[in-house]
Structure 1
């Protein structure tokens, strides 16, 4: 099953601790706590186009699995990396953060780890 679809954040664990650890300012953390972001994912084979809307902030990025690309961190930094795919799992390392995104039916789980601190997000397909 492909990743294509729109997904809304349903729950997240350890948001505040993780965001502080990666250097997000306190005012941004406060704003982000209750936002139910929407991720619009379009997948064509190994090519992905992703638009994440969180309140008034919109982040768009594209990548091809296995090829170098530039992605943006939560703090707005851009860095080059390579996204890997194994079945229904996408893995990427960016600025010390390991991100693993898994698709399970209509649910996407995203687990990010930075210096031993784990942040988990669960999003459900809305279209």
Structure 2
């Protein structure tokens, strides 16, 4: 199953508590809490090119499954992690204290980020 496509944020849960837990500045939380994002993924085998546009903020991540890469955050930080596949439609990355699971379920892209006991879920729909 290919992740390639463009996805628009439909819903999210626990954005503010998660952002506070990862020490995102309050002004950035307020700036992005009600902004819809667009995620564009280009997959070529195990190589991924991901662009997330949230308002004026653009995060661009390029990675290959099984190889260490840098991942950008809304706060502008870069965190290193090794993405791995869990079956044909799930990518798992451990980024310091944050666990990120991205799953493709039909036309929905579901991102689940966990830090401690706080889970932030983003559901985007293919457009």
Per-residue CA distance 1:49-71 (angstroms, 9 max, x = gap): 00110000011110000011111
Contiguous gaps of at least 5 residues in structure 1: none
Per-residue CA distance 1:54-105 (angstroms, 9 max, x = gap): 0000111100000111112333221221000122000001121000011011
In the alignment, structure 1 residue 69 sits paired with structure 2 residue 64: no
Contiguous gaps of at least 5 residues in structure 2: none
Instruction: Name 1:90's counterpart in structure 2.
Output: 91
Q: Is the 8 A contact 2:103 2:111 kept in 1?
A: yes
Q: Is the 8 A contact 1:23 1:75 kept in 2?
A: no
Give the Cα separation in 1 of the matches to 2:10 and 2:100: 18
Give the Cα separation in 1 of the matches to 2:74 and 2:98: 11
Q: Which aligned pairs between 1:25-104 and structure 2 lie closer than 5 A?
A: 25-86=25-86, 87-104=88-105
Q: Does the residue aligned with 2:30 lie in a helix, a strand or coil?
A: helix
Instruction: Name 1:108's counterpart in structure 2.
Output: 109
Report runs of 4+ in structure 1 exceeding 4 Å deviation.
none
- Cα RMSD for the two superposed structures: 0.9
Give the Cα separation in 1 of the matches to 2:70 and 2:26: 26
TM-score, normalising length from structure 1? 0.95
Q: Does the residue aligned with 1:71 lie in a helix, a strand or coil?
A: strand
Give the C-alpha shift of residue 119 in structure 1: 0.3
Give the Cα separation in 2 of the matches to 1:41 and 1:61: 10
Q: Is the 8 A contact 1:73 1:94 kept in 2?
A: no
Give the Cα separation in 2 of the matches to 1:63 and 1:20: 27
